[in-house]
Amino acid sequence: MTERTPLLHYRLSASVNESEQRSPPAGQAPEQHPGSPRQRSAHQRQPKKLSIFFGVVIPTLLSMFSVVLFLRIGFVVGQSGLYQAIAMFLVAYFIISMTVLSVCAISTNGALDAGGAYYMISRALGPEFGGSIGIMFFLANVCGSALYVLGLVEAIVATFGVPEGDLQHITHIILPSGYWWSLLYATAIALLCLLVCLVGAHIYAKATFLIFLVVMFVLGTIFVSFFAVSPRTIPLPSIGNPAANGTGPLLPTTANFTGFKLETLLGNLWADYTGDYTTGYMMTFTTVFAVMFNGCTGIMAGSNMSGELKNPSYSIPRGTITAVIFTFIIYNLLCVLVACSCDRVLLQRDYSFLRDINIWHPFVTVGVYSSTLSAAMSNLIGASRILYALARDDLFGKVLSPAKKTSHSGNPWVSVIISWFLVQLVLFSGKLNTIASIVTIFFLLVYAAVDLACLALEWASAPNFRPTFRYFTWHTCVLGIIGCAVMMFLINAIYASASIAFMLLLLLLIHYLSPTSSWGYISQALIFHQVRKYLLMLDVRKDHVKFWRPQVLLMVSNPRSSVGLITFINDIKKSGLYVLGHVQLGDLSTLPSDPLQSQYDSWLYLVDHLNIKAFVNLTLANSVRHGIQHLLFISGLGGMRPNTLVLGFYDDCLPKDKLIDPSLSSIQCTDSSGPSEPEQQPPLFHFTSLRGSSDRQDCGEFGDGKVLGPQEYVAIIADAMKMLKNVVLARYFNNFDRAQVLSPPSSSPGKGAVYVDVWPVNLLRPDSSSYVDTCSLFLLQLACILNMVRAWRKATLRLFLCVEEGRSVRGSEEKLGQLLKELRIKAQVYPVPWDQQVALHWQRQGEWGKKHSSQSPDATTEEKKLRACEEEEDEDYVNSFPSNATRLSDDYLSAVNKLILDAAHPAPAVRFLYLPRPPADTRRYTTYLHQLELLTQDLGPTLLIHGVTPVITTDL
């Protein structure tokens, strides 16, 4: 049987539906003042007065007592025998009991509103689970309604009709039989259900309790009949008997109701699977179980009444468990009574035998008709309400938008018509046993999803998940999931696989297409729980150079001018931590609130817009230097902390806005007269507009105007190195376009090839050409990492080897090639003579030596002391900074810059250069920055890199 929401629920919620038309979207509370006339009248029209018995027990029992109880209990025992029948019920009730525990846990975890199981699951787990389970629940109810209609048709035909061509000895034929006739009857019954659902749902609601009394009375007469009716011979239906038309072996035409006999019981103990006389299919354990399991579903009918219960959290667990225990006892008692008193032939070939052995035959007929019709109608209404709830939640966008329409009374008539249409399609299957497997698999899948939902809540360990129903554990959830999954595949592996694939597809569609909801996401709770656990396991004491990866803190002043750099750094993180840092100047003690909280959304939208995998970390400080110190100290968690600081270069390049909305391309965002108007700003990026040349490129500006000087900029570099952080300075990335760089026109020099140039030598120390120090190897590692990214794999690494005349060029090239081979780095080595540049350097050294050696013997004592002080300062500086960098001439730096430009043909996409340490003497910071600026002048996108820790190894 399928899940059914009795119409009593909808009578009482009619006024609720009416008000829902005027209510705001899902997730927003209606604006009503307590005690207002509208609210008081609403409470008067819809009092929550249903108790456990009327609100939970009766709906659940009516959902579980129907086709199986009256028409298939003999079929189950006749095919599988008493032992396997009881085993089937034990397995089925074990599965649904595990699910009942999960439902009870979810239903007692907070206040419930109208909406039933879909409301509980969607609000507890978020739109992905809720939407996918809701669709499966809707389809299960649709198929269940069709199943009950077909069961009713079968009962009507068994009472008033006979098979085609078998008119002899029959004098009271009323209805003709056959597939198309049965389809016609089913269509008429479905139309009757449709009319009631569209016009008179309240009529059924008033009769719910009466129908329950009828079903219980008929069930009582059945139990009495086993004891009161004397043994008799019962004619069997001729349908499916080939002997009736003379086309097959002769099969029995009668069977016996023997009363209680040991011989009858012994004959019904073991399985004897035969063909189903209504469909001709051979029965097996799984097919019989599929039919039987329909009588065990319906456990969520009480949960669907949550909006009309006095105390849902109290009523749902107690009422549902009571109904489950009662139905389990009744089913097993009936199995025993049937096995003790009916021939196996009677059980196998007459599904309506309970009518023939009843003390008064019409009793069973009335019970079958009333229960199946109410079940079909209730499932149709339940399906329409689920569809209406899905449409109102906007999980599928415009696809389900027509289903939101309601009548003046609040009845979702479009949802009812859609549900009826789908029921009509299912009716073409023709036979109850044909769709029983599909219905069973749908409900098993829904139950497994409910168990999975409860398991996720339990494993997430969220503080707000504290249900008052505590008789469940994660073990019961797992057992429920395993039981549902096993039975699904035993019943029909193809249907089960298709159903699971469909549900996963729905989950993915909702995850990527649905708007953000305010219900909460169980995925976030699970991710938090798992991330915290694994972060604790990430022990920094177990770090090894073999598994080093860059974990980057990129300082961004204004994202408008830093898009190129942000996207490029995303490529060299190699699955490592990537943090976008920003410093805002200010003092929290003088501000009314934290100004950073309102900015996070824009930064997170930026991350989504650029499709990068990065975190955002903002800080408030009285200076940029202190802010970056804060971020270097506190960014990350546990073993996931930044080990590399990336800064934009300090120069006077005019920043360009790369976040301008295409529709606003004509708007000048660099207007110096003031910021752009709010309506001109792109909707997702509320960053400060760029203001001409007063802003520094990339990281050079933090706020309006020049808030960062050259001294402080170099001090930030020195601070990072003191903290053992690698440092990267990025220049000329303001115009960097990743897509354009990686897809150059084929007409360009090099025929579309992409190059990455690496200069792993300290160009500020021409007296030292070492390629194997820590910093040089760090350059090689980063270049190799960039080359390993899928988009950059076609790029060619070019390694430039600076050589002087008189040295063995071939020997140096072979040595470097051997190093690259050991490091497994594929690169082309290009020797570059730089004798002229070195000569310029030594020429300056000679001039410096003459200047300091031409000390006049007639110099005064004060002049001698001053010169001695200068020499001492130079000596100290040389010890902490490249030994002769203080004496590098601008001519030498310009010559080296020209050498770098001339050596690369065609021009590379990006260059990697060696970044020397800043001088220990802070007075030299400006000179240091000036040297770096001359060195990288007009080189295009360039990274100046300094590594402080070993990051590469040749060991296995």
Domain count, the chain: 3
pLDDT at 681: 44
Look at residue 235 and give its three-state secondary structure.
Answer: strand
The answer to whether position 364 is within a domain reads yes
The Cα–Cα gap between 557 and 583 comes to 7
Confidence of residue 631 (pLDDT cuts 50, 70, 90): very high
pLDDT digits (tens, 9 = 90+) for 885-895: 556 788 888 88
Instruction: Verify that 171 and 137 share a domain, yes or no.
Output: yes
Instruction: Verify that 206 and 77 share a domain, yes or no.
Output: yes
> Nearest CA to 368 among 254, 219, 524, 266?
219
pLDDT at 29: 39
Instruction: Verify that 259 and 345 share a domain, yes or no.
Output: yes
Residue ending a domain, choose from 491, 513, 535:
513
Entry pTM? 0.65
Do 151 and 66 form a contact (C-beta atoms < 8 A)?
Answer: yes
> Nearest CA to 696 among 709, 711, 681, 714?
709
pLDDT at 947: 92
Instruction: Verify that 207 and 148 share a domain, yes or no.
Output: yes
Best mean pLDDT range from 73-82, 460-469, 796-805, 878-887: 73-82
**Strands 254-257 and 232-235: what pairing?**
antiparallel
Supply the DSSP string of 814-876, one letter for each residue.
HHHHHHHHHTT---EEEEEE-HHHHHHHHHHHHHHHHHHH---TT--HHHHHHHHHHHHHHHH
The answer to whether position 850 is within a domain reads no
* Mean pLDDT calculated for residue range 699-703: 39
Instruction: Verify that 568 and 475 share a domain, yes or no.
Output: no
Confidence of residue 173 (pLDDT cuts 50, 70, 90): low
Best mean pLDDT range from 212-216, 332-336, 526-530, 869-873: 332-336
Q: How many CB atoms lie within 10 A of CB 255?
A: 21
Contact residues for 942 (Cβ-Cβ < 8 A; gap 6+): 730, 731, 732, 910, 911, 912, 913, 936
Do 301 and 319 form a contact (C-beta atoms < 8 A)?
Answer: no
> Nearest CA to 219 among 76, 73, 86, 376?
73
Best mean pLDDT range from 384-398, 594-608, 692-706: 594-608
Q: Cα-Cα-Cα-Cα dihedral of 656, 657, 662, 664, to 10°?
A: -110
pLDDT reading at 856 higher than 60: no
β-pair partners for 342:
257
Mean pLDDT, the chain, integer: 77
DSSP at 690: P
The Cα–Cα gap between 857 and 756 comes to 56
Instruction: Verify that 726 and 817 share a domain, yes or no.
Output: no
pLDDT reading at 321 higher than 90: yes
pLDDT reading at 669 higher than 90: no
Instruction: Verify that 461 and 588 share a domain, yes or no.
Output: no
The Cα–Cα gap between 420 and 267 comes to 44
Q: Report in angstroms the alpha-carbon separations of 117 from 112, 821, 899.
A: 10, 63, 73
The answer to whether position 667 is within a domain reads no
pLDDT at 946: 94
pLDDT at 685: 66
* Mean pLDDT calculated for residue range 372-385: 81
The answer to whether position 676 is within a domain reads no
pLDDT reading at 720 higher than 90: yes
Domain at 579, CATH number = 3.40.50.620
pLDDT at 881: 45
Residue 102 token pair:
């999960």
pLDDT at 405: 81
Domain at 152, CATH number = 1.20.1740.10
pLDDT at 339: 93
Confidence of residue 713 (pLDDT cuts 50, 70, 90): very high
Residue ending a domain, choose from 513, 534, 568:
513
DSSP at 582: E
Better-predicted residue by pLDDT, 358 or 510:
358
* Mean pLDDT calculated for residue range 266-294: 85
pLDDT reading at 3 higher than 60: no
Burial code (b: 16+ CB inside 10 Å, e: under 16) for 579-589 equals: bbbbbbbbeee
pLDDT reading at 335 higher than 90: yes
* Mean pLDDT calculated for residue range 20-34: 40
Express as a percent the part of the chain with pLDDT over 70: 76
Do 725 and 645 form a contact (C-beta atoms < 8 A)?
Answer: yes
Give the domain range for residue 464.
52-236+254-513
The answer to whether position 940 is within a domain reads yes
pLDDT reading at 808 higher than 80: no
The Cα–Cα gap between 244 and 178 comes to 16
The answer to whether position 306 is within a domain reads yes
Instruction: Verify that 369 and 457 share a domain, yes or no.
Output: yes
Instruction: Verify that 352 and 320 share a domain, yes or no.
Output: yes
The answer to whether position 523 is within a domain reads no
Confidence of residue 177 (pLDDT cuts 50, 70, 90): confident
Better-predicted residue by pLDDT, 423 or 371:
423
pLDDT at 730: 94
pLDDT at 667: 34
Express as a percent the part of the chain with pLDDT over 90: 21
Instruction: Verify that 171 and 267 share a domain, yes or no.
Output: yes
> Nearest CA to 939 among 899, 891, 885?
899
* Mean pLDDT calculated for residue range 40-60: 64
Instruction: Verify that 385 and 285 share a domain, yes or no.
Output: yes
pLDDT reading at 4 higher than 60: no
Of 273-282, 542-551, 760-769, give the lowest mean pLDDT range. Answer: 760-769
Q: Give the number of residues written for the chain.
A: 956
Instruction: Verify that 430 and 493 share a domain, yes or no.
Output: yes
pLDDT at 381: 79
* Mean pLDDT calculated for residue range 716-720: 95
Domain at 823, CATH number = 3.40.50
pLDDT digits (tens, 9 = 90+) for 179-196: 888 888 889 989 988 888
The answer to whether position 396 is within a domain reads yes
